[in-house]
Amino acid sequence: MNIGQAAQVSGVSAKMIRYYESIGLVPPAGRRDSGYRDYGSADLHRLSFIRRARGLGFSVERIRLLLELWGDTHRSNTEVKAIALTHIDELEERARQLQEMADNLRTLAQACDGDGRPNCPIIQGLEAGGEPACDSARPARH
């Protein structure tokens, strides 16, 4: 099948398929007499593996390693599990950081009256490094 069909079946865009080929994550596809790429079932299986790994947030380098392990019938599942557990730790740390960012931004948003005036605790907080301006620094209301 051509690259468009492979993209549709695998769920990986044609642009990403070309990228994965360019970095060696996917072997170059065979070519038809017309010059168009020609993908087979093994290519689709590999692309689907990559799509699922990317969906779990694995980096390209980790996917490369997982693909090597996938192709090694003598692999150790201990190594695969270690990769997964390391990735889980990284995801949990990223989630913690994202939650902290959301909490900080929520605090800034709650400090804002949203009354159309130019005084903006959100802008002031970003300027000052994330801490909302105290009420005494706000201009008096009339």
The CATH number for 4's domain is 1.10.1660.10
Range scoring the smallest mean pLDDT among 48-57, 58-67, 84-93, 113-122? 113-122
Position 14 confidence tier, pLDDT thresholds 50, 70, 90 = very high
31 in any annotated domain: yes
pTM of the model as a whole: 0.75
Range of the domain at 3: 1-57
- Residue 69 belongs to a domain: no
Amino acid at 37: R
- Residue 69 CA neighbour count, 13 Å, CB half: 17
Q: Are 58 and 87 in contact (CB under 8 A)?
A: yes
- Model confidence at 141: pLDDT above 80: no
Q: What is the pLDDT of residue 115?
A: 87
Quick check: 135 pLDDT over 70? no
